[in-house]
C-alpha cells in the first residue's frame, strides 16, 4: 500500500505536464513501483531503466572515472535519461532526466557508506542531491523506502509541485 501523502504527490506528478526517463542503480525500484501504482503513470514515465550491472551503468554513463555511487555518476545517468526523454517524447512537454545511484545494506561485506545521489536534468540544467543513510536499526527495505520517498519528492519538486 502506498502511504496517502505519497499517493497525493504522485497523483500531482501525473497531473503535471512533465514527462520523464528514470535511470537508477542500487535503489529506487520501490519509487518506480509507486509511480506505476497510481493511475496516470503512462503520461509521466516514458521509460525506466534499472542499471544494476556494471556494464549497464557504463553503457549509460560512459567510462567516466567516478565511483558507481557518486554525484558524477548520478549526473551522467541524468544526462543520459534527459537525452533519452528527448528521443522518446512525442510533443512539446517539459522533460526530466532522472539519475539515481545508491549503496544500501547488502548481504555481503562492503566498504563505504550507505548513501544515495540523485540528479535531475531539466531544460535549465542539472540539480544534484545527496542522502546519507544510517545503518543502525535499519534493514535494506527501510533504506529503499527512504530513498524512494526522496525520489518521489524530488520529481514532484522538479514538476513544480510544492512540498
Q: Is 132 exposed, middle or buried (0-12, 13-18, 19+ CB in 10 A)?
A: exposed
Cα–Cα distance between 23 and 136 in angstroms, integer?
28
Domain boundaries, the chain: 4-158
> pTM for the full model?
0.95
CA angle at 77 for the pair 6 and 45, rounded to the nearest 5°: 40
- The pLDDT value recorded for residue 1 is 81
List, for residues 48-90, the tens digit of each pLDDT value: 999 989 999 999 999 888 999 999 999 999 999 999 999 999 9
Task: Give residue 39's pLDDT.
Answer: 97
Distance CA 111, CA 113 (A): 7
Average pLDDT over residues 11-38: 97
Mean pLDDT over 14-43 rounds to 97
Mean pLDDT of the chain: 95
The C-alpha cell that represents 34 in the structure block? 509507486
Residue 111's pLDDT is 78
Q: Coil, strand, or helix at residue 10?
A: helix
Superfamily of domain 4-158: CinA-like (3.90.950.20)
Which three three-digit cell numbers place residue 53?
550491472
Amino acid at each position: 500500500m502506498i502511504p496517502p501523502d505519497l499517493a497525493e504527490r504522485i497523483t500531482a506528478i501525473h497531473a503535471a505536464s512533465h514527462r520523464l526517463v528514470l535511470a537508477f542503480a542500487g535503489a529506487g525500484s520501490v519509487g518506480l513501483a509507486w509511480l506505476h501504482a497510481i493511475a496516470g503513470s503512462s503520461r509521466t514515465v516514458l521509460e525506466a531503466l534499472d542499471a544494476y550491472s556494471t556494464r549497464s551503468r557504463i553503457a549509460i554513463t560512459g567510462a567516466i572515472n567516478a565511483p558507481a555511487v557518486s554525484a558524477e555518476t548520478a549526473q551522467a545517468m541524468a544526462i543520459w535519461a534527459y537525452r533519452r526523454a528527448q528521443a522518446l517524447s512525442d510533443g512539446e512537454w517539459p522533460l526530466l532526466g532522472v539519475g539515481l545511484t545508491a549503496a544500501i545494506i547488502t548481504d555481503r561485506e562492503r566498504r563505504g557508506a550507505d548513501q544515495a545521489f540523485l540528479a535531475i536534468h531539466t531544460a535549465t540544467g542539472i540539480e544534484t542531491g545527496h542522502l546519507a543513510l544510517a545503518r543502525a536499526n535499519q534493514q535494506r527495505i527501510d533504506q529503499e523506502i527512504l530513498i524512494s520517498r526522496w525520489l518521489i519528492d524530488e520529481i514532484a519538486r522538479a514538476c513544480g509541485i510544492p512540498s
